[in-house]
Structure 1
Amino acid sequence: MPARVLVVDDVLANVKLLEARLTAEYFEVVTAMSGQEALDVCARAQCDIVLLDIMMPGMDGFEVCRRLKADPATHHIPIVIITALDQPSDRVKGLEAGADDFLTKPVSDIALLARVRSLTRLKMMTDELRLRAVSGHQAGMAAVATDTILDNGLNGRILIVDDRAASTERIQTALRDTHTVDVESSPQEALFRAAETEYDLMIVSLGFTDFDALRLCSQARSLERTRNLPLLLIAEQEDTARVLRGLDLGVNDYLVRPIDRNELVARVMTQVRRKRYADRLRTNVQQSMELALTDSLTGLYNRRYMETHLETLIEKASQTERPLALVLIDIDHFKPINDTYGHDAGDEVLRQFSTRLQSSVRGIDLACRYGGEEFVVVMPDADLSVARAVGERLRRNIAAEQFPVSKGVKKIDVTISVGIAMRREGDAADTILKRADEALYQAKRDGRNRVVSDAA
């Protein structure tokens, strides 16, 4: 699906010109003739990037930009200001309003298309993260949006890669009051430093005499540890072709010498904010995955995860002809604990039991909460004697020390019953679980607080 570009300008001729340029490159173009119309289009999620004029009647482009970036529903949409205004102060004002770039008319087709492609590519990557985060953990998305809007882009950690002392000193001076700034004169060492340190931005000079700085950018994009690190190029006036090539390689932004201090500060803040936004989305996605796989009360893997992975472990054990044990555990008389001490106390018991469970099993074992007060431990490469030894160790560990509840005011005795089943040739997951369940109920019938195997 082609990227959808919103062109905003109150001059029809300008709109038609940009529309023709973009359509020829197979972009889908939406147009708006006023600031309010642009806000309405964006609110309906009908664009991937906004090309925005500044001088419009009513609501000017700066205000449109500020409103889009202040709205949680639209703050992630890239905005490129395209205007006849050409003063450094105008660029800084646009960047401070939240624009991702500021291009002065007349804009070459090559530069415009390279920027649009670069920013829409970034937008689509962000959209994928947003979709995964929203579908998995809706509650966390509001916090992500709020934190991003309130983020001032300050206190980032910046790595400057440049072998000219005078150049790095000017950049350091501009940034050191608001960011932590490191300098590396060797591009090869810079890659190692970027991979080992959590930087928010790497600023790369194109002025190396004996090294192609774009190679460093390409390498940074190919490494897992630096793939998402924003890159900002420092270029000379004659470096246009290399800058465009850098954008194709995944460079996020660039500045042309002589560098305006305020513009540098504004562009760095934008990249730091974008990096933090993407990091928050990735964290949200990771939390969503963990919530889908783990039990929120105990922190153990949940039943869904266990059932998915049990089949895989059984298949592997069958292929290698290695033993596999399944241990099913039930906390004895758990309902009376809830009835006597309350459900909060029952939850405390479950959490403490899970901690003791994890300390009693082997590192390769898969410990899960099966449901309620039942737990499962899948033990690869464990014969019956090993499984019984682990089951007995856990049983003694639970019975030996009382469980403090009600913030430690009360302590209660807890015991468990354990059923063990060994994998047999041709067993499916539900077959082993059923035999472990039968062994568990035998342990309960025999008086609880004991370990029984289906082979007994």
Structure 2
Amino acid sequence: MSARVLVVDDVPANVKLLEARLSAEYFDVMTAANGTEALAICRRAECDIILLDVMMPDMDGFEVCRRLKTDPATHHIPVVMVTALDSPADRNRGLEAGADDFLTKPVSDVVLIARVRSLTRLKMMTDELRMRAITSLEIGMQAPERSAVADTGKGGRILLVDDRQSSYERLATQLAAEHTVDVEPNPTEALFHAAEGNYDLLIVSLDLNNFDGLRLCSQARSLERTRHVPILAIADAENSTRLLRGLEIGVNDYLLRPIDKNELLARARTQIRRRRYTDHLRDNVQNSIEMAITDALTGLHNRRYMESHLATLAEQASTRGKPLALMILDIDYFKSINDNYGHDAGDDVLREFAVRVRKSIRGIDLACRYGGEEFVIVMPETDLHVAGMVAERLRRSIAGEPFAIHKGTKRIEVTISIGLTTLEKKGEAVADVLKRADTALYRAKHDGRNRVVSQAA
């Protein structure tokens, strides 16, 4: 895996040692001799992961990590502290500063490379989501970086999978200080429980009786509902080899027994913060896709979506020899509604019109706002006669009940004119169908409005 690793240490011998280890595994290694230099490199987005020493002259590693994790531009970069400090207090201080891991020198090559690979995979996945979410900024959606920096990581929902009562009771009590915790002592039920529970974190013991905890982790990664839920593995010290194997199959973090309460809580917060951030990124991507094809005012599909999707529906109809009906709807005298009652009233009418349209058509039908007060409805597998019945029902639905405007303080009469046609000839151009429906709409308006006019192919 090619990734850019930044090694930050003021001791040249330490830098050369780490550089040699990482270069042998084909990582691209950058170096910085102090915290100020490291922060500048990170702000320029020149690295994928940071290996950070603690004891440095200008500012210590704890302060460097804190600054990285509180800066919206750099908070997503994984930080691994690699230091000679080995007390629980130092470890917890590093994790509280936002470090993703805290490795004590001397660090074995296997452990170091496994951790770098695991965090690099995570960083690259996050980068892809961040790139896709850039569009959301361009259409006015809020970026998640600032909320991610402010997130405490508390208040998460955790599923603890452990079949040793003394162990899970102690862990659940410790975690309950900051989170909602469910315990699943039966590992065969754990995957179903995880899939249904909408959890922010899975904590899995790898020392289960008569069950392979790594297999459970692997299954969680392969199941759609749990694929993105972070996993924190717990094991006895002699099972460190299995933990490294777990990092390869998708475990996000691990703890060795005996477990320090503060470290447990710090690592849980880190994983939950990251889960919330990536979920926000995915939501932004999904929302930007929906906004690109949806009319913001009415919630119907927009013209761009209609033009691309209509071609597909027409091709399917031609291939299967099925009819396809298309109607163009225009709200009568809509300009006078805006002029007499204001544009807010016009928006009220458009929103309510969309609601009534949805109630009058089937789920397979395509309803779009074509522009202004014009709308298009495409009805697959529908002939001209049936489509005419639907159009007349919709016309009566609009004309039969006044529209509420100005927050319900006033009601006004609204009518629509509809031009209707069908795609009958195989291979007929979509533009010709739209033109024919538009011609029928013109006739409906010319003949007095509030009516349906059909025009056969």
Same fold (TM over 0.5): yes
Q: Tell whether 2:453 aligns with 1:452.
A: yes
Task: Indicate the SS of the match to 2:241.
Answer: helix
Distance 2:447 2:412 in 1: 22
Name 1:434's counterpart in structure 2.
Answer: 435
Distance 1:323 1:142 in 2: 44
Name 1:40's counterpart in structure 2.
Answer: 40
Matches within 5 A, 1:335-374: 335-374=335-374
Aligned-pair distance for 1:285? 1.0
Note closer, same or farther for the CA distance 1:204–1:149 as it changes in structure 2 (3 Å cut): same
Aligned-pair distance for 1:390? 0.9
Per-residue CA deviation, residues 224-278 of structure 1 (Å, 9 max, x unaligned), is 0000010011011111211111000010000001111110011011111111111
In the superposition, the TM-score normalised over structure 2's length comes to 0.98
Name 2:274's counterpart in structure 1.
Answer: 274
Aligned-pair distance for 1:428? 2.0
Aligned-pair distance for 1:136? 3.4
Aligned-pair distance for 1:186? 1.8
Q: Tell whether 2:393 aligns with 1:408.
A: no
Name 1:66's counterpart in structure 2.
Answer: 66
Per-residue CA deviation, residues 94-137 of structure 1 (Å, 9 max, x unaligned), is 00000000000000111000000000100010111111111234
Q: Tell whether 2:155 aligns with 1:124.
A: no
Aligned-pair distance for 1:408? 2.3
Name 1:216's counterpart in structure 2.
Answer: 216
Q: Is the 8 A contact 1:137 1:285 kept in 2?
A: no
Per-residue CA deviation, residues 34-68 of structure 1 (Å, 9 max, x unaligned), is 10100000000000001000000121100010101
Name 2:419's counterpart in structure 1.
Answer: 419
Aligned-pair distance for 1:289? 0.9
Distance 2:277 2:166 in 1: 33
How many residues align structurally?
Answer: 456
In the superposition, the TM-score normalised over structure 1's length comes to 0.98
Aligned-pair distance for 1:82? 0.4
Q: Is the 8 A contact 1:206 1:233 kept in 2?
A: yes
Matches within 5 A, 1:46-445: 46-138=46-138, 142-425=142-425, 426-445=427-446
Task: Indicate the SS of the match to 1:225.
Answer: helix
Q: Is the 8 A contact 2:221 2:250 kept in 1?
A: yes
Q: Is the 8 A contact 1:200 1:229 kept in 2?
A: yes
Per-residue CA deviation, residues 287-310 of structure 1 (Å, 9 max, x unaligned), is 111101100010001111111111
Aligned-pair distance for 1:141? 6.3
Q: Is the 8 A contact 2:81 2:102 kept in 1?
A: yes
Q: Is the 8 A contact 2:136 2:143 kept in 1?
A: no
Report the RMSD for the aligned CA atoms in angstroms.
1.2
Unmatched 5+ residue regions in structure 1?
Answer: none
Which amino acid counterpart does residue 297 of structure 2 have in structure 1?
A: L
Q: Is the 8 A contact 1:137 1:288 kept in 2?
A: no
Q: Is the 8 A contact 2:136 2:142 kept in 1?
A: no
Aligned-pair distance for 1:139? 6.2
Which amino acid counterpart does residue 190 of structure 1 have in structure 2?
A: A
Distance 2:115 2:106 in 1: 15
Task: Indicate the SS of the match to 1:356.
Answer: helix
Q: Is the 8 A contact 1:7 1:29 kept in 2?
A: yes
Q: Is the 8 A contact 2:297 2:347 kept in 1?
A: yes
Matches within 5 A, 1:11-30: 11-30=11-30
Aligned-pair distance for 1:138? 4.1
Aligned-pair distance for 1:376? 0.6
Bigger shift: residues 334-343 or 116-125: 334-343
Aligned-pair distance for 1:340? 1.5
Q: Is the 8 A contact 1:203 1:232 kept in 2?
A: yes
